Every structure is written in C-alpha cells, then in structure tokens.
Amino acid sequence: MSAPAPTPSLTVGPFFHGIVRPGANVLVGPQTRGERIRIEGCVYDGDRAPVTDAMVEIWQANAAGRYRHPLDERPVPLDPAFIGFGRSATEEAGAFWFETVRPGPVPFRGDTLQAAHINVAVSARGVLDHLFTRLYFEDDAATAADPILRLVPPARRATLLARRLPSDGTALYRFDIVLQGDGETVFFEL
C-alpha cells in the first residue's frame, strides 16, 4: 500500500486580473465635471511585500457631492458623465491607479458635512471578506473635521490620507494600502 498523497493547497485566486476589464479604473470622460485627479498607490502585505494579485475598488460622490445611486435623491446636480465606481487590479509591483475627479462633500447627520473622500474596497488572495477603508485628501482643510475620520485614533489617521505629489497637469495623489502589521491601513467594519 502506498503512502497517501499530500492534500493540495487551496486558496482564493489569483483571478482579479481576469475580472477587471480594461479601462475600469478611469471614471471620467471628456464631459465629466470637476477637478481631474489621479490616484496611484500600492497594496502591501504585512511584510511590506507588494501584493500582485489584489483588486482595489472605489466608489465616490461626484464633484458636486452626489452619489450616482437611486437612494441619493438630494437636490444636488447629478453628473451624467461620471460613473462614480472604478476597479483596478494590482500590477507586478502591487501598483494600482485611478483617474477620477475630486469628490464634493456629502452630508452626515444634521447639518454636518463629511470631508471629500473616496470609499475603497480591497480584495486579495487569502482575504475572505472585502476590506473597506476610505481615502481622504491630506491637502483638504475639511479633512481634520470629518466626523468619520475623527472616530479613528489620531495615531492611525495618517493611513487614510492621500498625499499630493508634484505633477504636470492633473493633480496626483499617492495612497498606499497596507493589509496588516506596522502601518496597517485602518479598515472599517461594515
């Protein structure tokens, strides 16, 4: 009788490159209203190694602060040329990028506004549930008063801030995502 064969390793993915259609990371077109921005970043694991088979999704309000969703019925202009949702697979170095617009502020409770932000979801091999976070703009004065960001311990808030980088033309922001360990990005339970 022969020895039993070892059980093969099973994991989810990597399959994100196959489900992200080309151009899914470009949320703007020639008619889209608002300030054009580009977001670039990398997804890193707990050892700060790039995650080459992750998928990053974003959804956001338009430049006027309105979501393209049936539940957002506020009397704020809806931009028919803005999708509000994008998806990017990470590349060999764990890199992802999006071309979009700087979102407008959206309401919170009462008369309080949330600072401009972009909602982010991350899927990766070995991560069974999506990880949800937010991207805020370091150069936006309203960020410091955001009611959601203020719930995050001060020492951890920097993990949610996109840094503006020098660029020619389109505003460029850097936002890295660390899945665990030192400098881990703050993730929200939804």
| Residues 113-136: tens digit of each pLDDT | 999 999 999 998 878 789 999 999
What pTM value is reported for the model? 0.88
pLDDT at 9 over 50: no
- Report residue 3 as tokens: 């020895």
> How far, in Å, are 23, 50, 103, 116 from residue 143 at the CA level?
29, 28, 13, 7
pLDDT of residue 18: 59
pLDDT-derived band of residue 15, with 50, 70 and 90 as boundaries? Answer: low
Full residue range of the structural domain in which residue 38 is found: 16-178
Q: What is the CATH number of the domain that holds 124?
A: 2.60.130.10
pLDDT at 14 over 80: no
Tell me if 11 is assigned to some domain: no
Calculate mean pLDDT across residues 162-183. Answer: 95
Tell me if 109 is assigned to some domain: yes
Which residues pair with residue 123 across a beta bridge? 55
pLDDT at 27 over 70: yes
Tell me if 129 is assigned to some domain: yes
Tell me if 8 is assigned to some domain: no
- Report residue 96 as tokens: 């992802």
Q: Which amino acid does the sequence have at 163? A: R
Calculate mean pLDDT across residues 147-158. Answer: 96
Distance, in Å, from the CA atom of 11 to the CA atom of 104, rounded to the nearest integer, reads: 39
**Helix H or strand E segment including 101:** strand 95-101
pLDDT at 26 over 90: yes
Cis preceding-peptide flag for 14 (omega within 30 of 0): yes
Residue bearing tokens 């982010």 = 120
Tell me if 2 is assigned to some domain: no
User: What integer best gives the mean pLDDT of the chain?
Assistant: 90
**Helix H or strand E segment including 86:** strand 85-89
Tell me if 187 is assigned to some domain: no
Number of domains comprising the chain? 1
Calculate mean pLDDT across residues 24-35. Answer: 95
Q: What percent of the chain has pLDDT over 70?
A: 89
Tell me if 188 is assigned to some domain: no
Tell me if 106 is assigned to some domain: yes
pLDDT of residue 30: 95
Closest residue by Cα to residue 97 from 115, 78, 118, 79: 118
